[in-house]
C-alpha cells in the first residue's frame, strides 16, 4: 500500500508549529486539506469555520495550544524512531492490526493527537456559548470523518481482510455500498431479519379506532385481573411506536400488560403528501385529545393514565393543558419519558436550531409540505457519527461484512416524515423561543396553554447519557408540573442514552437507575442537588414505573372480554397498517 513517509511528514508538519510565521498563516488561511490527513501536509479547515462564525482564539490560548502540541508531537516522533509503540486508547484502533504495523500505529497516534489539537482549538474559541457549541460540533464532525480507520489505504484491518479473502471482502464491500446508495442510507442491521407484526411490534391486540392521523391499538390482557384505570401510550411522531414494542423480551408494552394494565397505544400515521398541511394543533386535538376521549369511552373510566415518550410527551402534556383550560382533568397520572417541556437546554441539537435555520425551514415548509424522514434520520446520526455512520463504513464497506440483526437499529432505520407546518411550529415555539414553559405564552387549539394547570400525579424519567434530551432538561419539568403540589411529582434517572436507557427490560437486570426520595417542599430544586442526594439501584427502572401506575390505578377488576365496545369495533389486528407504511 502507498503510505505516507513519516519522516517527510514530520519535517513538513512540525515546521509549521516551530515557525511562528507559518503557524499564524496556518491559523488564518483556510484550505481544503486537514491535519488529520498527514500525507497532505498542514492545512487548517478550522480557520474557515472561525471565519464564518466571526470568532477567533485569544493569542495566549493559541500559543499554549501550540507549545503543548509541539511537545507531544515531538515525543511521538521520537518514540516512533526508537521503535516504541504508542498507546492507542481508542476503540477504533483496538484491533491488534493497528499495533502490528509500526506505520499504522504511528498513523493512528498522529490522528489522535491532531484530533486533540483541533478540538482544543475549538474549545478555546472566544465566542458566545451557542456559537462555540456549533464550532465544537463542526470540528468534531471533521475529526471523526478523517480517522484513518475510515479509509482503505490507512486501515490495516481492512487490508488484512482483503488478503485473507483474496479480494472477496472488497467486492462484497462495494456491493454493500452500492445497495446502500440505492436505499439512500447506511445499513445498520440485517433488515431481512425483522418484520413489523411478525417479530417486532407483535404484542397481541386490536385496532379499535382510526382517523386520518393515528390508529388506536388496544392490547389483549394477559392477567386474571387488571387495574381499573387504563393506560394510554403516546409515542413520538418522529419515529414509529414499536420502539416500545420490540421483540418480546425487549417490549415495554408487553411488560406493562403483564403488570395488569389495560393498555392502549397511539400509532401515528406516516405522513404522505395528503398530510402536508397538518399542524401542531391537529396532533394535539385530532391526535392526543381524541385518543384520550376514545380510551375513556371504551373503558367507561373517567380518567386514564397518560404516557408520553420524547416529543410524544410534549404533545401529551400540551393536550392535557388544553383540556385543563377547557375545565377537564382526564389524567389519573402523567408519565413523561425523556421529554422536553422546558427547552432551555436542548443539548447538541441546539446546533441545528437558530433563527436563520428555522426561518429557512419556515420559508420552505410552513405553508405546506413534508419534512422527509430521511433528513431527520441523517440529523440524528450526525449526533453520534462514529457509532451510527463511520462504524458501518468500516465494517460494511471496507471489510465487506454484513451487519448483525438488531431490533432497535431496525426500528431506527424505519423513518417517518413530518408535516411541514407542524414541524416548523414545533421548532420555533419550543426549541427556538421556549414558550411552552411560560403560562399563557402559547395558544393551542384556541386556548392558552398552562402546564401548571394539569392536575395529576407525575412520573418523570430521564436518561443519564441522553444526547437528545439531557437528563437535567427532563428534570426541569419538575418545576413546571404541579407547582402548588410538588409532592405529586416523582423523578427517576436511568443509565445509558435516549433509547437504550428507556428500553431496559426488567427481566435482564442490566444497567442501573437513581432515585431521590426527598419529596414535597423539601425536594431538591435543581438537577445537581437532586443527583447529589440520589441513591443508585442496580437493574431496570421499569418496576419503579409499574409501582407508580399501580399506586394510581384504582381497584382490581375483570379484564375486558373483547377489545373496543359497541361504538368502537375492532377493525384489524395489531399492529395495524399505519405503522407498516414506510417513508422510503
Q: To the nearest 10°, report the CA torsion of 532, 470, 323, 274.
A: -170
381-436 tens-digit pLDDT: 888 889 989 999 999 999 999 999 999 999 999 999 999 999 999 999 999 999 99
Catalytic residue positions, numbered: 310
Range in 67-71, 463-467, 545-549 the model is least confident about:
67-71
Q: Does pTM top 0.95 for this prediction?
A: no
C-alpha cell at 553: 390505578
The kind and range of the H/E element at 492 are: strand 489-494
8-46 tens-digit pLDDT: 444 444 444 444 454 444 444 443 333 333 333 345 666
pLDDT of residue 584: 64
Question: For a pLDDT cut of 90, what percent of the chain falls above it?
Answer: 75
Closest alpha carbon to 250 in 16, 508, 451, 571 = 508
pLDDT of residue 51: 67
> Does 44 or 141 have the greater pLDDT score?
141
Q: Provide the greatest CA pair distance for the chain.
A: 84
The sign of the CA dihedral 329, 330, 333, 335 is: negative
Give the best-scoring range by mean pLDDT among 71-75, 347-351, 571-575: 571-575
pLDDT of residue 139: 87
pLDDT of residue 377: 85
Regarding beta strands 226-227 and 556-557, do their DSSP bridges make them parallel or antiparallel, or are they unpaired?
antiparallel
Cβ-based burial of 160 (10 A; exposed 0-12, middle 13-18, buried ≥19): middle
C-alpha cell at 192: 431481512
* Contact in structure between 495 and 515 (CB atoms under 8 Å): no
> Does 265 or 380 have the greater pLDDT score?
265
How many whole angstroms separate alpha carbon 395 and alpha carbon 398? 6
525-571 tens-digit pLDDT: 999 999 999 999 999 999 999 999 999 999 999 999 999 999 999 99
pLDDT of residue 31: 39
301-323 tens-digit pLDDT: 999 999 999 999 999 999 999 99
Closest alpha carbon to 221 in 247, 257, 251, 255 = 257
State the chain's mean pLDDT as an integer: 90
pLDDT of residue 384: 87
* Contact in structure between 235 and 242 (CB atoms under 8 Å): no
- 576: pLDDT strictly greater than 70: yes
pLDDT of residue 49: 66
Question: For a pLDDT cut of 70, what percent of the chain falls above it?
Answer: 90
Query: Mean pLDDT, to the nearest integer, of 150-172?
Result: 95
231-242 tens-digit pLDDT: 999 999 999 999
pLDDT band at 348 (very low <50, low <70, confident <90, very high): confident
How many whole angstroms separate alpha carbon 273 and alpha carbon 370? 7
271-287 tens-digit pLDDT: 999 999 999 999 999 99
> Does 519 or 102 have the greater pLDDT score?
102
104, 213, 284, 382, 554 from 446: Cα distances, Å: 64, 20, 11, 37, 33
Q: What residues contact residue 115 under an 8 Å CB cut-off, 6+ apart?
A: 36, 143
- 94: pLDDT strictly greater than 70: yes
469-518 tens-digit pLDDT: 999 999 999 999 999 999 999 999 999 999 999 999 988 888 999 999 98
Amino acid at each position: 500500500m502507498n503510505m505516507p513517509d513519516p519522516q517527510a511528514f514530520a519535517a513538513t508538519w512540525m515546521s509549521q508549529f516551530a515557525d511562528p510565521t507559518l503557524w499564524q498563516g496556518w491559523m488564518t488561511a483556510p484550505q481544503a486539506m486537514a491535519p488529520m490527513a498527514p500525507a497532505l501536509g498542514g492545512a487548517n479547515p478550522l480557520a474557515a469555520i472561525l471565519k464564518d462564525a466571526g470568532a477567533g482564539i485569544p493569542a495566549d490560548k493559541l500559543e499554549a495550544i501550540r507549545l503543548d502540541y509541539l511537545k507531544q508531537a515531538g515525543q511521538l516522533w521520537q518514540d516512533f524512531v526508537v521503535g516504541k509503540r504508542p498507546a492507542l486508547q481508542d476503540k477504533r484502533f483496538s484491533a491488534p492490526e493497528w499495533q502490528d504495523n509500526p506505520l499504522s500505529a504511528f498513523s493512528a497516534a498522529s490522528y489522535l493527537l491532531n484530533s486533540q489539537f483541533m478540538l482544543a482549538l475549538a474549545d478555546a474559541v472566544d465566542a458566545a456559548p451557542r456559537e462555540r457549541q456549533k464550532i465544537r460540533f463542526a470540528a468534531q464532525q471533521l475529526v471523526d470523518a478523517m480517522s484513518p480507520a475510515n479509509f482503505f489505504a490507512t486501515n490495516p484491518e481492512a487490508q488484512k481482510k482483503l488478503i485473507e479473502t483474496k479480494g472477496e471482502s472488497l467486492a462484497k464491500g462495494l456491493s454493500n455500498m452500492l445497495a446502500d446508495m440505492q436505499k439512500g442510507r447506511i445499513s445498520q442491521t440485517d433488515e431481512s431479519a425483522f418484520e413489523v407484526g411478525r417479530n417486532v411490534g407483535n404484542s397481541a391486540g386490536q385496532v379499535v379506532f382510526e382517523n386520518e392521523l393515528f390508529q388506536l391499538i388496544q392490547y389483549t390482557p394477559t392477567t386474571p385481573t387488571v387495574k381499573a384505570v387504563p393506560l394510554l401510550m403516546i409515542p413520538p411522531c418522529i419515529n414509529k411506536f414499536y420502539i416500545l414494542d420490540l421483540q418480546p423480551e425487549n417490549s415495554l408494552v408487553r411488560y406493562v400488560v403483564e403488570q395488569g394494565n389495560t393498555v392502549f397505544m397511539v400509532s401515528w400515521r406516516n405522513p404522505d403528501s395528503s398530510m402536508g398541511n397538518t399542524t401542531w394543533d391537529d396532533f394535539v386535538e385530532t391526535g392526543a385529545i381524541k385518543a384520550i376521549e376514545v380510551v375513556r369511552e371504551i373503558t367507561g373510566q373517567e380518567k386514564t393514565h397518560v404516557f408520553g415518550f420524547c416529543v410524544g410527551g410534549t404533545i401529551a402534556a400540551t393536550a392535557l393543558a388544553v383540556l385543563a383550560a377547557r375545565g377537564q382533568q382526564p389524567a389519573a397520572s402523567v408519565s413523561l419519558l425523556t421529554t422536553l417541556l422546558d427547552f432551555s437546554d436542548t443539548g447538541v441539537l441546539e446546533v441545528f436550531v437558530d433563527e436563520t435555520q428555522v426561518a429557512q425551514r419556515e420559508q420552505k415548509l410552513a405553508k405546506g409540505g413534508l419534512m422527509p424522514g430521511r433528513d431527520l434520520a441523517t440529523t440524528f446520526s450526525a449526533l453520534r457519527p462514529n457509532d451510527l455512520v463511520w462504524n458501518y463504513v468500516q465494517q460494511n464497506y471496507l471489510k465487506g461484512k454484513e451487519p448483525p440483526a438488531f431490533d432497535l437499529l431496525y426500528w431506527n432505520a424505519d423513518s417517518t416524515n413530518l408535516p411541514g407546518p407542524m414541524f416548523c411550529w414545533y421548532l420555533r415555539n419550543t426549541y427556538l423561543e421556549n414558550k411552552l414553559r411560560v403560562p399563557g405564552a402559547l395558544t393551542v387549539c384556541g386556548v392558552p396553554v398552562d402546564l401548571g394547570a394539569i392536575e395529576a400525579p407525575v412520573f418523570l424519567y430521564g436518561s443519564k447519557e441522553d444526547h437528545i434530551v439531557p437528563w437535567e432538561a427532563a428534570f426541569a419539568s419538575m418545576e413546571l408540573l404541579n407547582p402548588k403540589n410538588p409532592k405529586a411529582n416523582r423523578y427517576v434517572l436511568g443509565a445509558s442514552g435516549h433509547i437504550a436507557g428507556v428500553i431496559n427490560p426488567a427481566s435482564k437486570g442490566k444497567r442501573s437507575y437513581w432515585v431521590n426520595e426527598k419529596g414535597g417542599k423539601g425536594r431538591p430544586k435543581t438537577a445537581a442537588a437532586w443527583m447529589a442526594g440520589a441513591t443508585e439501584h442496580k437493574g431496570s427502572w421499569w418496576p419503579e414505573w409499574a409501582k407508580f401506575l399501580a399506586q394510581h390505578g384504582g381497584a382490581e377488576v375483570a379484564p375486558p372480554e373483547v377489545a373496543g365496545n359497541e361504538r368502537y369495533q375492532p377493525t384489524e389486528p395489531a399492529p395495524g397498517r399505519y405503522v407498516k407504511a414506510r417513508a422510503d
